[in-house]
Each structure stands twice: as structure tokens, then as C-alpha cells.
Amino acid sequence: MSRIVLFGAGGRAGRRILAQARARGHDVLAVMRHPHAHPDIDGVTGDVTDVADVRRLTAGADAVINAGASMDVPPDQFFSASTHALIGGLQTRRLLVIGIGTTLEPTPGIRLVDTPDFPDEAKPFTVGHALELELLQQSPSELDWVVVTPPPVVIAEHTETGPLLVSAGPELLHSFDPTFTYTDLAVATVDEIDNPTHHRTQIAVVRN
């Protein structure tokens, strides 16, 4: 059993990760900015963009997961602030961050967001996640981080899961099952805690 601190526990990804981790017997501290908005979740108040909150809440943790996002501030500001706070305040080495599929590379060295037909309206959130990844890559070597990245598809809300394939790097796999659920994402994330396989890298997860 690991002690896990989960930021963004009230979100679509966070809820599934929380359920998956607790089902496997892990002790999970569910952190939310507004716990009163999620009365069904047993959790605490905390802000992943606040280095003092990160330092306080992650003391004694074996691993930390950031599934947080915000619609209240521009994505580049939120993901920059959260990553700086995690790098500066984390009280454990192991950090898993939920990424976005549009940062993956359909061609080596070229991200999906940089392709000619990528829609402008989808760029801000992708750029925020790309900045997050860049900051992690520049972080001190003792931080053992992984960005768990779903495919660039509409992720389904239901609880179904299936066989998963993990690519150890930012490569966008061209042949995969387009069905992907938040439970799939949760399974892949908690798998990486149960069996730490990847280190200081972005990984792509798809249905096999």
C-alpha cells in the first residue's frame, strides 16, 4: 500500500484515479480547491498552484498525482504555476501528471498541436500542458516524474476499461482503439505507481 496525494480529485480524471487507487488498497489523500462542491468525496482543501499547500499536503507521501486543471485562469498560467509549485514544494520524489494527447508527436519531433490543420480553439490548453512538460524536463534530476498522456480523442465518462498499450515516449501511436475512458487513464496511472516503469518522461497510453 502506498500513501498517495491526489490533486484535482474532484475532476473527471481525478475521480476515476481516486476510485482506482482506493480500490487497490492505497491510502489516498484527495485534494480539491473546493471540497464543498464535491460532497461525495472524502477529501481536503488544497491548491496545487500554492507551493506552501504542496509542501504541507505531500509530507509523508510515497507518490503524488496531479490531475488538476482550472477554467478560471489561462491554461499557460495555471499549468506553469502548478508545475512550479510541485517542483518547489514536493516532499517525495515520485510525481505523476495527467497530460493531454495533443502534445504527442504523430511524426518524430512534431507535436500534434504544431501540425497545419490543428484547430486554433484547442491550442491554449495544449500549450499550457506543453509548458508543464517543458518545466518538468528542466526540473532537478532527483524529481522522478512521469506525464501520463491519453490519446487525442474524446475521453468517455463511463467506467469501462480494456487492454492498454503504453508507449515509453511522446510518440502518437497510429493504430489504436479510438475508444478510451477516464477509467483507462486511471488504470494506467495507478499501474505506474504499483510498478514504476517509466522515469522522467512522457508516456502515451491507448487501448490496445
**pLDDT tens digits, one per residue of 11-43:** 999 999 999 999 999 999 999 999 999 999 999
The single-letter DSSP state of residue 144 is E
Terminal CA-CA length for the chain: 28
**What does pTM read for this prediction?**
0.95
How confident is the model at residue 175, as a pLDDT? 63
- 18: helix, strand or coil: helix
Neighbours of 88 (CB within 10 A): 12
**Which residues, listed in sequence order, are joined to residue 156 by a DSSP beta bridge?**
181
Query: Per residue in 139-181, pLDDT tens?
Result: 999 999 999 999 998 898 877 888 898 887 788 766 677 889 9
